[in-house]
Structure 1
Amino acid sequence: MKKILFFLILAFNVIFAQTYTSEYYEKQAQILRNLDIDPSFMSDLIFVQIREELESKHSGVLVNSIQNFSKVTPMIRKVLAKEEVPEEILYLAMIESGLKTHSISNAKAVGVWQFMQATARNLGLRIDAYVDERRDPVKSTYAAANYLKNLKNEFGKWYLALLAYNCGNGKLKQAISKAGSDDLSILLDSDKKYLSLETRNFIRKILILAFLANDKDFLLQKDGSLMNYALSNDFVKVDIPSSVALKDLAQSANIDLETFKKYNPQFKHNFTPPGNGYYMYIPLNKTAFFEKNFKNTHFKKVDTSIPMTKIYVVKAGDSLYKIAKTHNVGIEDLRELNKIKKNHLSINQKLIIPIKEDKNAKNTKSKNHYTQIVSR
């Protein structure tokens, strides 16, 4: 058996040497070292066997993340560098969410880093009826970096922090205890199953994306512009007043509202939260224009009360126009509330319908069981 393993590893090393340049090999070895993984892990039999399959399945995540979230990637990389954590942690976020700021898992984890509400609040992120800072790529990355640094301090190695991020501290401690080792190859043993398949493949996927991101041939083959994904795209954080319309703030920075919302996904509504002011992000090249207009603009306060809503289930024959007319609401209000871009609706699709408050009615909420929007 040992001879068979030896020849398999030897064969892989020969193939690897023929396929990859020494420069690319060294880049991969450095990625492993950055995560406290011995470079010999590249010869791990299971990793060798499933590497091509993982590349085929998950390379699209890398390409899509770079192409569609080019504004988010530099923001995350900058925070990771500032917090002095391995840059490879960026690929953890790609695996978790594809860098989608509005990503929501089946377990209700939200944002780029897929934080559960309790964890996010413990890390200092604000979540309420007005904002969800799990969607803020800057604040949530600071939170993720601190969380991972705490895990690294607890377990001693970065790859163990990544494993714990996926499966939890308790399960990782149990796995290390059963294995009698914290060596990565041992913990990922597919026969012993010290960790779940999801967790075993979690770190493998991170490594695959990190390897591909440093493979010039792969990037050029997919799209030459991907080579520039690490270029700086600086944003600045500016203080803004409470209870003002986002469209007015966007206009003051000479940014269209849709783009503004991409820069600031933490807002749940079209206005800033009430209270003592808040913040927003704008591109660095818009700063001078914003500062000039901001000083000379009187921002009108808007109503920040959150509308009461009900759920409507789409039936055969329904259209946006018909539903809006029946419930006495604007079509654009329906589009905005339900994030609908096209006119097509599906039967049994659930729509959030705003309810106009009848100030003359008594006990309206209890009679109709209205529900307040807390998150989307």
Structure 2
Amino acid sequence: MKHLLASILVIPLWLLGSGFDPTDPKKIEVLSHFDIPASYLKDPYLHDMYDQKKRECTLQGFADTSENSDVFIPMLSSLIAQSDLPSEFLFVVLVESQLEGSATSSRGAAGLWQFMEGTGKLQGLQIDQFVDERRDHIKSTRAAIAYLSGLKKQFGKWYLALIAYNCGDGRLSRAIAKAGTSDIRVLTDPKRAYLPPESRKYIRKVIALSLLATDDVFISKMQYDTFANTQQESPIATVYLPEGENLDRIAAVLEMPKKKLVVLNTHLKKGITPPNEQSYPVYIPQNKLDEFRKKYRTKELKGYFVLDPAKSGETLEQLSKRYNVPKTAIMMENMIGTDDGRNLNRRVKIPINKPFLTNPRLHKAKSGETLASVAKLYNIKLEQLKLKNPFITSILYEGEEVKIGD
């Protein structure tokens, strides 16, 4: 900290406490990317926000953690560079969440881009008991890019798209109608109060951080070289895994701490891929991709997991019979030896195929299915299934109903 403060002393004093130079060509160019006139650089409230953000970044940094910035800044920059958004829109995320993927606001907004649930669903993000794709760093970024691009088409200027992103397009439309103009100087004037205070601060925060990033000396002292190089390759790789795959197992395969994998996959609520999806994206470090391809093999018994609070004296054989799951599968999933399985007295993870969760009474056969394949699907012994369906032949026709439960 002493070294950092000493280093900052080499910056001219007028940069530290009196805003910035409004004639700086770099800062004028930044404003043009937002479709904002250069005269807005004289806005005193923007200077105050610039000073505030500079103090905050000096004390706390730009992001929640430097590790998050090393991962998410290149990823975000890469995706934004592939879109029509100005590169400065990276700072929207810093204002929204400080790059904390698990961030949740008091109003219920979630993820890097702080989507509300309704807005997230409208943008095609899946939100259910297993996943919350507002916390999917890549999907939510693509959704935010599409949303902001749509707002730009609607209002014609990038700064208006940003304001609408914060307060809603309806609220902004009413403000413009009341003001009789879409001029940012009029809309963000606190005395006229056409916009909510939060939205006036919001647009100034994004602009202030974007202007601050043009200060090469400050950025280098803060050790955020990632801002200077927006052409970096994303450090995140996408792999598609079967239903019910567990992050614990992937972390073990990659020989990496689970918590680092969780940071990349905060959208998986239960730490597993959803049991209702045959294939689902999971994110791993790019430098682990080759290792994943060499080592990863799908489990023989794919699906969801049930945690059974095994009672004292209960055995693996009893659990195996209760769930119709092979004893060896339970042993492998819990790393239990033969001797350990005689008296469990602990929570045991049971690998269950997806259909078991729905506990259906009937199964409608699909083309090509047989009685044996249905028995395997529901982890039921073929003999048991035949007893339940004495008049059904081994080869099933499409649509034929097979009794599964009582």
TM-score by length of 2: 0.66
Match of 2:282, SS state, is strand
Paired letter, 1:93: V
Q: Distance in 1 between matches of 2:58 and 2:287?
A: 32
Q: Which runs of 4+ in 1 moved over 6 A?
A: 18-22
Deviation at 1:244, TM superposition (A): 2.1
Provide the residue aligned with 1:291 in structure 2: 293
Could you say if the C-alpha distance between residues 154 and 19 of structure 1 is closer, same or farther in structure 2, counting changes exceeding 3 Å? closer
Q: Is 1:279 matched with 2:269?
A: no
Paired letter, 1:55: K
Deviation at 1:221, TM superposition (A): 3.0
Deviation at 1:277, TM superposition (A): 2.1
Q: Distance in 2 between matches of 1:278 and 1:74?
A: 23
Provide the residue aligned with 1:197 in structure 2: 197
Provide the residue aligned with 1:179 in structure 2: 179
Deviation at 1:20, TM superposition (A): 6.6
Residues 217-262 of structure 1: per-residue CA shift (max 9 Å, x gap) = 112333x3x2235444432211111112211122233332111111
Q: Distance in 2 between matches of 1:19 and 1:113?
A: 28
Q: Distance in 1 between matches of 2:263 and 2:200?
A: 33
Could you say if the C-alpha distance between residues 299 and 93 of structure 1 is closer, same or farther in structure 2, counting changes exceeding 3 Å? farther
Q: Is the 8 A contact 1:62 1:209 kept in 2?
A: no
Q: Distance in 1 between matches of 2:50 and 2:187?
A: 18
Paired letter, 2:225: M
Residues 139-197 of structure 1: per-residue CA shift (max 9 Å, x gap) = 00000011111111110000000011111111111111121111111111121111121
Q: Is the 8 A contact 1:254 1:290 kept in 2?
A: no
Q: Distance in 1 between matches of 2:262 and 2:134?
A: 15
Q: Distance in 1 between matches of 2:33 and 2:281?
A: 34
Deviation at 1:99, TM superposition (A): 1.3
**Higher-Rg member (1/2):** 2
Residues 44-94 of structure 1: per-residue CA shift (max 9 Å, x gap) = 243235542343346656523461412112111111111221111111111
Q: Larger RCO: Structure 1 or Structure 2 (Cα < 8 Å, ≥ 6 residues apart)?
A: 1
Deviation at 1:271, TM superposition (A): 2.0
Q: Distance in 2 between matches of 1:51 and 1:78?
A: 26
Q: Is the 8 A contact 1:83 1:142 kept in 2?
A: no
Q: Distance in 1 between matches of 2:308 and 2:155?
A: 46
Provide the residue aligned with 2:208 in structure 1: 208
Provide the residue aligned with 1:38 in structure 2: 37
Paired letter, 1:169: D
Residues 6-64 of structure 1: per-residue CA shift (max 9 Å, x gap) = xxxxxxxxx78x99789x92221121111111122111243235542343346656523
Residues 254-302 of structure 1: per-residue CA shift (max 9 Å, x gap) = 33211111121111113221021211112222121111112x5546535
Gaps in structure 1 of 5+ consecutive residues: 1-14, 309-327, 334-376
The alignment yields a C-alpha RMSD, in angstroms, of 2.8
Provide the residue aligned with 1:75 in structure 2: 75
Paired letter, 2:130: Y
Q: Distance in 2 between matches of 1:141 and 1:329?
A: 41
Q: Is the 8 A contact 1:61 1:95 kept in 2?
A: no
Provide the residue aligned with 1:111 in structure 2: 111
Match of 1:200, SS state, is helix
Paired letter, 2:95: I
Q: Distance in 1 between matches of 2:308 and 2:27?
A: 52
Q: Distance in 1 between matches of 2:299 and 2:48?
A: 63
Could you say if the C-alpha distance between residues 218 and 237 of structure 1 is closer, same or farther in structure 2, counting changes exceeding 3 Å? same
Gaps in structure 2 of 5+ consecutive residues: 1-13, 310-344, 350-406
Match of 2:292, SS state, is helix
Q: Distance in 2 between matches of 1:145 and 1:262?
A: 22
Provide the residue aligned with 2:27 in structure 1: 28
Match of 2:133, SS state, is coil
Q: Is 1:218 matched with 2:218?
A: yes
Q: Distance in 1 between matches of 2:284 and 2:292?
A: 9
Could you say if the C-alpha distance between residues 19 and 188 of structure 1 is closer, same or farther in structure 2, counting changes exceeding 3 Å? closer
TM-score by length of 1: 0.71
Provide the residue aligned with 2:375 in structure 1: none
Q: Is 1:227 matched with 2:225?
A: yes
Q: Is the 8 A contact 2:179 2:186 kept in 1?
A: yes
Q: Distance in 2 between matches of 1:72 and 1:144?
A: 15
Paired residue total: 293
Q: Distance in 2 between matches of 1:329 and 1:100?
A: 35
Q: Is the 8 A contact 1:51 1:208 kept in 2?
A: yes
Could you say if the C-alpha distance between residues 292 and 299 of structure 1 is closer, same or farther in structure 2, counting changes exceeding 3 Å? farther
Q: Is the 8 A contact 2:102 2:111 kept in 1?
A: yes
Q: Distance in 2 between matches of 1:27 and 1:75?
A: 24
Q: Distance in 2 between matches of 1:60 and 1:141?
A: 28
Could you say if the C-alpha distance between residues 62 and 161 of structure 1 is closer, same or farther in structure 2, counting changes exceeding 3 Å? farther
Could you say if the C-alpha distance between residues 83 and 329 of structure 1 is closer, same or farther in structure 2, counting changes exceeding 3 Å? farther
The share of aligned pairs that are identical, in percent, is 33
Q: Distance in 1 between matches of 2:43 and 2:262?
A: 44
Paired letter, 2:216: K
Could you say if the C-alpha distance between residues 290 and 36 of structure 1 is closer, same or farther in structure 2, counting changes exceeding 3 Å? same
Paired letter, 1:36: D
Provide the residue aligned with 2:161 in structure 1: 161
